[in-house]
Amino acid sequence: MTTLHFFEHSLRFFNVSKTVPLTKEIFSVLRAGGIVMVLQIIGLGLAFLSQIFFARWMGVHEYGVYTYVLAWAILFSVPAAAGLPLTSIRYIADGLVHANFDAVTGIVKWSVWLTISIGIVITATATGIIYGLNIGYDLAYPIQLSIAFAIVPLLALLRVQSGIFRGFGWPAWAHLPDPVLRNFFLICIFFLVWAQGMTLTAQLALVITVGVFVVLNALQMVIYRQNVPSAVLHATPSYEPRKWLKTSLPLLLVAGFQVIVERTDLIMLGMLQDTQDVSVYFACSRVANLILIVLTAFSVLSASKIAALFSVKKLHELQIFVMSLLRWIFWPSLGVGMFLIIFGTQILSLFGDAFVTGYDILLLLIACQFINAIVGPVLLLLNMTGQERQSAKVFAWSCLLNIVLNGLLIPKFSAIGAAIATGITIVFWNIWLVIIVKKQLGIVCFPFNPFVNPLGKSQ
């Protein structure tokens, strides 16, 4: 039995391919998913190890400061990216399908330069505000915050270039610089600093992080030049900024609201509680995020495929593709979740004895992330099919709900309150997104639904 037949029979077993055989196109995505999966495992493994090492080498306080100010940098990197990571995927995939290479070259160059420009403006403005506030209010960690904001344009550009790679169908190259090489470089450099007997403060760690992001962006540019098709490289760029902005701005709102939802707990913990709470909570969130390894891998490689199928209106094939992904994501995610529940205390002890107290937080966050895994790439499906305004509306309300819940629960329950607020918000947005996908596209985003056949029609 060939590998292709094995996947076909496997999917038939899970009721994905009763009436339509598994196409070579879908199999190629699953095979590519194996490559991305390996990179995801390596990247998440390195990310996980890096947080363990950083917590031990820096200590609870400095580690808390480092993660707190980085959360601000990650938050502001979203407006710097301006919704362009997903916009570039969509229009590059569409341009390649229709052999419109001038438009592909145009969206690539326009995305890169717009991101750099916005990022520099945000960094300069934020730095001025930080030092202005520090004069009158004795702002906490002004130097660390200023260094962190230097990361904003670099992180935004890294994400945009990753989106460009995904649009071209290069999932492996999209994942190699970040998270694999980023965490590898940080671990190596931090270890050298620690081995030399130097004190690894949050300030020094941030300076090193800035340098690593510079190197990674340069590497991405080299990768692009070496892999881009000649027809695209030598095409005369055509620009449609009005059209692209019409797509990117709603996506910016979606990404902005999403990162606010994801980082509100950490930022508000840092503002309302001490840095030890931030350290423990962040460590728990990193452990719980391991559940998303399969979802993240398949979402990354499937984005361009979803955009391509929708651009030629192959909705039946898109339903089959989505149901296939959902069922391949579910079981590994369940296995990872059970493993983390059983060995959660031992895993947290790797960060240090002070982190074991976060096991209850870990359990709540595991439940949150498993809910994300169950519905699969539902948000990606909306964003890649022109429904980004619907996504923006969902996350606007989710953002408001999350801020209110964190404001109410953190003062009373500290980190546990942040985890509860996150869980309620995740349930809220996922239910709403699933309903929208079914209503707008007729596609069911749930792995096991006996009332829907593989083509998405009610039985």
pLDDT digit string, tens, across residues 152-176:
999 999 999 999 998 888 878 888 8
Structure tokens at 156: 């935004």
pLDDT digits (tens, 9 = 90+) for 171-222: 788 888 888 899 999 999 999 998 888 888 999 999 999 999 999 999 999 9
Phi, psi of 457 (to 5 degrees): -100, 140
With H, G, I as helix, E, B as strand and everything else as coil, classify residue 343.
helix
Residue 259 has pLDDT above 70, yes or no: yes
Structure tokens at 238: 């055509």
Q: How far apart are CA 249 and CA 92, in angstroms?
A: 17
Computed on alpha carbons and rounded to an integer, the radius of gyration of the chain in Å comes to 22
Q: Residue 381: CA atoms inside 13 Å, Cβ hemisphere, count? A: 29
13 vs 299: CA distance, rounded Å? 23
pTM for this prediction? 0.74
Please choose, from the candidates 335, 318, 336, 328, the residue with its C-alpha nearest in 3D space to the C-alpha of residue 382.
Answer: 318
Q: 129 by DSSP, 3-state: which?
A: helix
Buried b (16+ CB within 10 A) or exposed e, 27-39: bebbebbeebbeb
DSSP notation for 90-113: HHHHHHHHTT-HHHHHHHHHHHHH
DSSP 8-class letter at 236:
P
Q: What is the pLDDT of residues 125-143, one digit of tens each?
A: 999 988 887 655 556 678 8
**Tokens at residue 72, please?**
């601000």
Percent of the chain residues past pLDDT 70, beyond the cut? 87
CA angle 302, 323, 2 (to 5 degrees): 80
| Amino acid in the structure at residue 382 | L
Reported as a single tens digit per residue, the pLDDT across 303-358 is: 767 877 787 777 777 877 888 778 878 888 999 999 999 999 999 998 888 889 99
Token output for 248: 């990117």
Banded model confidence at residue 1, pLDDT cuts 50, 70, 90: very low
- Give the model's pLDDT for residue 43: 84
